[in-house]
Structure formats: structure tokens, C-alpha cells
């Protein structure tokens, strides 16, 4: 059964993701290293939604659900921000000098490399990203 956390679209609310992942991982018997990977992924994604996902200053909810599926720790992040598929974002040029690199893209690169599975869909005006971390 999934455990769900709903946070507001504020940087202060993103801080609560760490405790939620740790508590849920412990309850599900997830290894610390696997839980830490999921924490980094979800903090990065939630922070991006807060910073870039909305065109207004009103409150929006970001829902994060966690569950265990076989030997994997899984998450579903849902938000009603502007459509954004992190799987279609371009790869950063890691060989370019720092001065030549464009801003952004490293966080999504980190997420792609830390997750063992990612699946995105846009349904009913909401972004839905499923993340799987093998453990």
C-alpha cells in the first residue's frame, strides 16, 4: 500500500520530502542507500516543480506517493504545473567548459542516472512521473 505526502509548491515544503522518504523507507524495509537515492531524486524533482512549474503565485499541491514493488522502491510524483516531460529534456554537454555550458539540465541528468526506471505521462492536466530505484 502506498504512502502519500502532499506538499505546497514552496521551497520550504520540499524540505519535508527527506523525512517522508526516510520514514516510509524504514517502514517498508528499504535499504538506506536505496532510500538516499530516492530522496535525492525526489528533492531535485520537487524543487524543479516549485521553481519552474507554475505561472502564478497561488498555492498548488505536489503529491508524492511511495511504495515497495518487489525489490524496488517506487514513487509517483503528481503536479498540475505546466507540462514537462523530464525524459524528453536534452542531455547537458558535460564535456564543455563551465563558461560555455548553458544553465540548467544537470539536475535532470542526475535524476536519469540515479533512477533505474522513469515513466512520464500527462493526464487530466497533471504531470505524472513514476520513479523506480532498485534496491
Gap between the Cα atoms of 35 and 52, Å rounded: 26
Per-residue pLDDT of 15-62, as tens digits, reads 999 999 999 999 999 999 999 999 999 999 999 999 999 999 999 999
- Mean pLDDT across the chain, nearest whole number? 90
Looking at domain 3-134, its CATH architecture is 2-Layer Sandwich (3.30)
Q: Where do the domains of the chain lie?
A: 3-134
Q: Give how far Cα 48 sits from Cα of 26, 29, 32, 43, 71, Å.
A: 26, 28, 24, 9, 28
What pLDDT band is residue 10 in, cutting at 50, 70 and 90? very high
CB 82 within 8 A of CB 125: no
- pLDDT of residue 107 exceeding 80: no
Cβ pair 78, 46 in contact under 8 A: no
pTM: 0.88
Dihedral angle at the C-alpha atoms of 71, 123, 12, 31, nearest 10 degrees? Answer: 0
Q: How far apart are CA 5 and CA 8, in angstroms?
A: 10
Amino acid at each position: 500500500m502506498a504512502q502519500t505526502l502532499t506538499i505546497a509548491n514552496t521551497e520550504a515544503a520540499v524540505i519535508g520530502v527527506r523525512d517522508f522518504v526516510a520514514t516510509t523507507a524504514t517502514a517498508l524495509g528499504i535499504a538506506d542507500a536505496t532510500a538516499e537515492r530516492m530522496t535525492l531524486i525526489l528533492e531535485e524533482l520537487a524543487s524543479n516543480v516549485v521553481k519552474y512549474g507554475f505561472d502564478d503565485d497561488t498555492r498548488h499541491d505536489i503529491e508524492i506517493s511511495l511504495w515497495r514493488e518487489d525489490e524496488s522502491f517506487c514513487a509517483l510524483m503528481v503536479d498540475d504545473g505546466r507540462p514537462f516531460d523530464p525524459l524528453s529534456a536534452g542531455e547537458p554537454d558535460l564535456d564543455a567548459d563551465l563558461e560555455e555550458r548553458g544553465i540548467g539540465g544537470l539536475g535532470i541528468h542526475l535524476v536519469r542516472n540515479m533512477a533505474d526506471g522513469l515513466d512520464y505521462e500527462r493526464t487530466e492536466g497533471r504531470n505524472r512521473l513514476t520513479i523506480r530505484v532498485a534496491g
